Structure 1
Amino acid sequence: MLPPFIDPISRNILWQPSEKLIADANITRFAKLNGFAGAPYETLHRWSIGRPEEFWSALWDFVGVKGEKGSIALERQPGKTMLGAKWFPEASLNFAENLLQGPDDALAIIEANEDGIVRRVTMGQLRQRVSQAQQALRKLGVTRGDRVGAILPNNLDALVALLATASLGAIWSSCSPDFGAAGIIDRIGQIQPKVVIAATSYRYNNKLFEVSDRLNTVIKGMAGVEHLVLTTPSTAYKNDSNASVHSWEDICNVPAQPLSFEQCPFNHPLYIMYTSGTTGLPKGIVHSAGGTLLQHYKEHVLHGDVKPGDTLSWYTNTAWMMYHWVISGLAAGAAILLYDGAAMVKRDDRLDMGILWKIAEEAGVTHFGINPKYLSTLMESNYIVGQRHDMSRLRSVLSAGAPVSPEQYDWVYSSIKSDMIFASISGGTEIIGCFVLGSPIHPVRRGEITCKGLGMAVDVFDDRNASVIGVKGDLVCTQPFPSAPLTFWGENGDQRYRDTYFSQREDTWTHGDLAEQTINGTVIIYGRTDTTLKPGGVRIGTAEIYRVVESYPWVQDSIVFGHAVPGDEEIVLCLVMKEGQELTADRIGALRAAIREQASPRHVPHHITAVRGIPYTLSGKKVEGAVRSVVSGKEIKNLGSIANPDCLEDFANLFAEAA
């Protein structure tokens, strides 16, 4: 007898949009206006990548970008598809002007910290503050093309400074104040900022951290800094540099004037952001004002269904791409929640696991962004969000930074809210946006990213450069998109940029993710290809092993990497055990059996051992490559990119202690 037929289209569906949600969605209205009423998403997507100049021009009109569009949407270099493409070469706009639209009385910012909501700021009040900051930066000599560096927490001052910088046509680059001096110098020091805006202290996990000495080291270690502006009052900061020191409060204490906005070309630099860079200096990725704005408009308005009156939040710091992503929600008419603090706060007698949800409840957050590690911690602690907090306004939860396991999908719908969109999104700092993400008109399938982004010609190629479905391969993009980097900052920036993304496949962007596209049109991300395991020559994603390991309550953290042996590669799994727990032979055996059963025999680690800590980048990502280098006896050239480099000592003699 044949087995019962299981419809692959409906399998693993956790949520379906209602007919009303689909009818009211921004993307439905956009499709109708462009002649695709009633057409499936796949048709709209094929149009968006087959005629990208029509799609992005239509998006400009639909969202109402403030600026001059010009008559040309896309110019291609002869004989090239992606390389050398120029978007809207006749256009002019200002990024900040597009974020500072809206009625004076509309809610724009909700500022919060570990004690809760600090204040609410209307759009009129925000414009006033940006006007004052704009005047202050002008007095310091900041003009179009100058670089402004920031070492600031995620608060109102940081956002005001960013918008004031962008309003002048200057270039913004930021780090979080918890970065070490070397990490900041390696990043912002590359771009020789004229002005640095910094905090001399910050609070995290109920503690005050004074960083005046570190800041002095940073300013002395940077070339070209003319002015240092301090946002926090400090008697501890002793200036030992050539920079003039100012108080942010003092220089912004001027009457507000009507804002002016420097109109710049579409491809004018807006942000310089940085890769994690553990093998050398972090790469300074230069992003354009127009490309960033249009990509974020698309992702918020069409894919996120963000509408005026919504409230967006993302747990992030000012160094991560998601900070820049979420603040662009202002352009869609939404309010932005800025939170400065720990995701889980140590109180005197307990761990406050619900601080983010308490603030989201009070703020009426509609779109809540977080990372999979946070979801995993809530799962392990059985923190049932929906029972503890009123999530009636919540319409979507989003996750980025690492693959989301199928079990985490289950938990989101059982423990947060059953009727909402859960969107795992994936792209990165390199494109300041997403290749694959969510949608208000698609079902959510367990363990799968919902769809390819409109205007993004995403595919999965094998080693023959052939598109494959149901098989793991390289995530690629085959058509130009506006938010591609302008260049890498510094000497030979264009060549370094091409070498990074186009050396593997000529004129095709190879992103560096191991991925699979399914028959449903969804995508599964298995991890970075530079950390892909290859035992017996078969490519294996680390996410498949992490998924199993993280289900064990006695595991605090873990890291997986490949160790070269003659003619092959062995998988190594290192575990941080929870307090009071030991890695016994029985537990090692249970782990191996579970990985064999839930993944495959090829996934089973050759070595499983305990370590005291797992290395993370300053932006909170595991650094498998650094561990692999240490184990192989190679030098890590940029320890400043690792938040906790001391833990690498455990890996130096790993195989002498391996189980």
Structure 2
Amino acid sequence: MGPGRARGAYPDPMSRIEDLARFAAVDGGYDDLWAWSVRDLDAFWATAAAHLGFELPGPALAEERMPGAVWFPQARVNYAAAVLDGRPDDEVAVVGATEDPAATHELTWGELRRRTASLAAHLRDLGVGEGDRVVGFLPNTPDTIVALLASASLGAVWSVCGMDYAASAARARFEQLDPVVLVHATSYVHGGKVRDRSDVVAELAGALPTLRATLDVGGPAWAEALAADVPFAPVSVPFAHPLWVLFSSGTTGKPKGIVHGHGGALLEQAKVAAYHFDLGPGERLFWYTTPSWMMWNFVVGALLTGASVVAYDGSPAHPAPDALWELSARLGVTANGMSPGYVAACQKAGVGPRGHDLSRLRRVGISGSTFPATSHEALQDELGPDVQICSISGGTDVVSAFVGPAPTLPVWPGELSRPCLGVALDAFDESGAPVRGEVGELVVTRPMPSMPLHFWGDDDGARYHDAYFDTYPGVWRHGDWITITDHGSVVIHGRSDATLNRNGVRMGSGDIYEPVEALPEVREALVIGMEEPGGGYWMPLFVVLAEGVELDEALDARIREAVRSHASPRHVPDVVIQAPGIPHTRTGKKLEVPVKKVLAGQDLGGAYDPGSVDDPELIDWYRTVGRSRRTR
């Protein structure tokens, strides 16, 4: 099946998005519902809130402006209460899983509520109150979810780093917040090994002078903190009260602390989970993530629908490359999520969903980078026609999705089905005019409830404004190249801040990665566009090859031909270079911009934290490549 053809729609009986349309009395299909949702934001969000079961007195959108929209000013909410209130005590809420199947354990809604109430009481005894910061250095376990919910229930502000972060990277984030409590583990599991991080914890605790207490989730104090049987008593806070701080990657500057509010986060996350992934009671979501990535927050947000979730501490490829598929089968998940890289690695290893009992699986989410059409088609053939592949694209910035699936929509390989409900998405050219069928900037022209309240420490709002609103005044520019197709889907081409602009033609890096990384000899690729003195332009393609493979003339020619035939002759790189590795952020994104800077000889300086990179030594390798080219 070619990339221009769509798989059939997936009309679940009485899907939640269809029920919303009936509730709102909107006739027609998804496009009619979306058009109403962005035309009348006040009515849509008031209706969606009511349909989702949230009591939010109006108006929904009291003041429309970007930045600074005012949502539900009369409402008082609490994220933890929205998760826990009214849930059946004896049904499973969270499944904790590791690489050892025997260590799997379950928390019912009743136990999750009790532990959250007990920890909240303990934090309150430590003096934690509204606006105080509680931070976590933790793996992806049920305890981490309890810590977030307990913090949120008090009106405190939560922030967390996964345990693969170096001490310098965690400190660069947490020291901005002046936290009063650090919740931590001392180890995590990955690749069959227990990774001891007690030295990092000690360094981190010593670097945060505002701490009143530390809590080790593996120690007796934690067990005591969870042991009390006290009422769950969440405080009501304004809709825009800060809930958590998520941080940008920190690879090109000081990590930005992105602050979201209770109300905006709960509305947006419930919307995506319920309407776009059709999650609710009886469903179970497992998405491979770490607490450092916004997808962890997205997983927790699925609890807002009454669905259960899986918290997995471990490697996606241990003890075998198809570990995530095995886990999905064993735990009976109805929706799982993974990266395009994981899907490609499974396909190259000759493993995947086939052979696992995935009879309960209805949706497979894809996020983190562009998903090649060839990988999509191969995965769909393995899954069969009854499982929908749900590619989504959003960001830490809004802790939600801009574009994604819906149960009633078709899916085109290599494309994302539609803009999400309530997201006034468009593609703009350089002059700010909408474009169709050609590459443009991803923009959002009207507010979303989960747009940041502000950046932490950005008292005058200058960093916030410059991050999103300096190109098109009053319009959110996200920093992605997209194409809105003639059938309404969206194609993501890559980051616009890493633009390939050869002879005045803008190109997305994703259009090059797809054919190159589909070759069995290539594990991963990185393309960079370099403006050079005298008007020159150099576009190298770095490739990491499969074990035992070396770059020779024949493979070089195959790579070039793959790019030429899949994309265009202008996409063909100037040179193909075998590299020892591709550097990533801790959440798996390729470091296109930092690599471009070091190739050009720019000093990343104090703004760059090696602890934010999965393999900092690779940066020095690329710096050497750049130096060699400049001295020829």
Q: Does 1:122 align with 2:108?
A: yes
Match of 1:210 in 2: 196
Q: Post-superposition shift, 1:307?
A: 2.2
Q: Does 1:337 align with 2:305?
A: no
Match of 1:112 in 2: 97
Shifted more, 211-220 versus 86-95: the winner is 211-220
C-alpha contact (below 8 Å) 1:15/1:421 kept by paired residues: no
* Residue 20 (structure 2) aligned to one of 20, 30, 36: 30
Match of 2:482 in 1: 515
Match of 2:9 in 1: 16
Q: Does 1:364 align with 2:332?
A: yes
Equivalent AA in structure 2 for residue 295 of structure 1: E
Match of 1:528 in 2: 495
Match of 1:73 in 2: 60
Q: Post-superposition shift, 1:657?
A: 6.8
Equivalent AA in structure 2 for residue 201 of structure 1: S
Q: Post-superposition shift, 1:571?
A: 1.1
Shifted more, 112-121 versus 620-629: the winner is 112-121
C-alpha contact (below 8 Å) 1:15/1:420 kept by paired residues: no
For residues 456-502 of structure 1, the C-alpha deviation after alignment (integer angstroms, 9 at most, x for no partner) is 10000111211111000100000111000000001436221011100
For residues 538-559 of structure 1, the C-alpha deviation after alignment (integer angstroms, 9 at most, x for no partner) is 1110001111111222222221
* Residue 221 (structure 2) aligned to one of 247, 260, 274: 247
Q: Does 1:624 align with 2:592?
A: yes
For residues 145-202 of structure 1, the C-alpha deviation after alignment (integer angstroms, 9 at most, x for no partner) is 1100000000011111111111111111000111001100111121111000011112
* Residue 478 (structure 1) aligned to one of 441, 445, 448: 445
Match of 1:541 in 2: 508
Alignment of 1:129-148 (within 5 A): 129-148=115-134
In 2 relative to 1, CA 83–649 (structure 1 residues): closer, same or farther, beyond 3 Å? closer
**Aligned-partner SS, 1:24:** coil
For residues 617-656 of structure 1, the C-alpha deviation after alignment (integer angstroms, 9 at most, x for no partner) is 1111110111111111112232232121101121123157
C-alpha contact (below 8 Å) 2:601/2:626 kept by paired residues: no
Equivalent AA in structure 1 for residue 40 of structure 2: R
Alignment of 1:539-618 (within 5 A): 539-565=506-532, 566-618=534-586
Matches of 1:471 and 1:528 in 2, distance apart?
Answer: 16
C-alpha contact (below 8 Å) 1:286/1:488 kept by paired residues: yes
Matches of 2:506 and 2:536 in 1, distance apart?
Answer: 12
Matches of 1:489 and 1:120 in 2, distance apart?
Answer: 36
**Aligned-partner SS, 2:199:** helix
Q: Post-superposition shift, 1:11?
A: 4.9
**Aligned-partner SS, 1:652:** helix
Matches of 1:54 and 1:568 in 2, distance apart?
Answer: 53
Equivalent AA in structure 1 for residue 598 of structure 2: V
Q: Does 1:42 align with 2:28?
A: no
* Residue 603 (structure 2) aligned to one of 632, 635, 649: 635
In 2 relative to 1, CA 385–657 (structure 1 residues): closer, same or farther, beyond 3 Å? farther
Q: Post-superposition shift, 1:527?
A: 0.5
Matches of 1:11 and 1:525 in 2, distance apart?
Answer: 15
Matches of 1:280 and 1:509 in 2, distance apart?
Answer: 21
Q: Post-superposition shift, 1:251?
A: 3.0
Q: Post-superposition shift, 1:120?
A: 1.4
Equivalent AA in structure 1 for residue 367 of structure 2: A
Match of 2:247 in 1: 274
Equivalent AA in structure 2 for residue 58 of structure 1: T
Matches of 1:142 and 1:309 in 2, distance apart?
Answer: 35
CA RMSD of aligned residues (A): 1.8
Matches of 2:97 and 2:389 in 1, distance apart?
Answer: 24
Match of 1:197 in 2: 183
Equivalent AA in structure 2 for residue 57 of structure 1: A
Q: Extract unaligned runs of 5+ from structure 2.
A: none
Match of 2:299 in 1: 326
Match of 1:239 in 2: none
* Residue 283 (structure 1) aligned to one of 228, 232, 256: 256
Percent identity of the aligned residues? Answer: 36
Q: Does 1:174 align with 2:174?
A: no
Matches of 2:627 and 2:168 in 1, distance apart?
Answer: 32
Shifted more, 493-502 versus 420-429: the winner is 493-502
**Aligned-partner SS, 2:194:** strand
Matches of 2:115 and 2:603 in 1, distance apart?
Answer: 47
Q: Does 1:262 align with 2:235?
A: yes
Equivalent AA in structure 1 for residue 310 of structure 2: L
For residues 405-464 of structure 1, the C-alpha deviation after alignment (integer angstroms, 9 at most, x for no partner) is 101110221123331211110010001001101001111112110111111100001112
Matches of 2:573 and 2:627 in 1, distance apart?
Answer: 16
* Residue 89 (structure 1) aligned to one of 68, 73, 92: 73
Matches of 2:564 and 2:554 in 1, distance apart?
Answer: 15
Q: Post-superposition shift, 1:52?
A: 0.1
Q: Does 1:644 align with 2:611?
A: no
**Aligned-partner SS, 2:149:** helix
Equivalent AA in structure 2 for residue 379 of structure 1: Q
C-alpha contact (below 8 Å) 2:44/2:422 kept by paired residues: yes
Shifted more, 510-519 versus 637-646: the winner is 637-646
In 2 relative to 1, CA 547–11 (structure 1 residues): closer, same or farther, beyond 3 Å? closer
Match of 1:63 in 2: 52
Shifted more, 563-572 versus 405-414: the winner is 563-572
Give the number of equivalent residue pairs: 624
Q: Post-superposition shift, 1:314?
A: 0.5
Q: Post-superposition shift, 1:17?
A: 2.1
In 2 relative to 1, CA 401–384 (structure 1 residues): closer, same or farther, beyond 3 Å? closer
Alignment of 1:150-165 (within 5 A): 150-165=136-151
C-alpha contact (below 8 Å) 2:322/2:346 kept by paired residues: no
In 2 relative to 1, CA 219–469 (structure 1 residues): closer, same or farther, beyond 3 Å? same
C-alpha contact (below 8 Å) 1:391/1:417 kept by paired residues: no
Q: Extract unaligned runs of 5+ from structure 1.
A: 1-5, 234-245
**Aligned-partner SS, 1:143:** coil
**Aligned-partner SS, 2:434:** coil
C-alpha contact (below 8 Å) 2:9/2:407 kept by paired residues: no
Matches of 2:277 and 2:509 in 1, distance apart?
Answer: 29
Matches of 1:645 and 1:48 in 2, distance apart?
Answer: 44
Matches of 1:71 and 1:610 in 2, distance apart?
Answer: 58
Q: Post-superposition shift, 1:569?
A: 2.3
In 2 relative to 1, CA 511–403 (structure 1 residues): closer, same or farther, beyond 3 Å? same
Equivalent AA in structure 2 for residue 249 of structure 1: A
Equivalent AA in structure 2 for residue 13 of structure 1: A
Matches of 1:536 and 1:595 in 2, distance apart?
Answer: 18
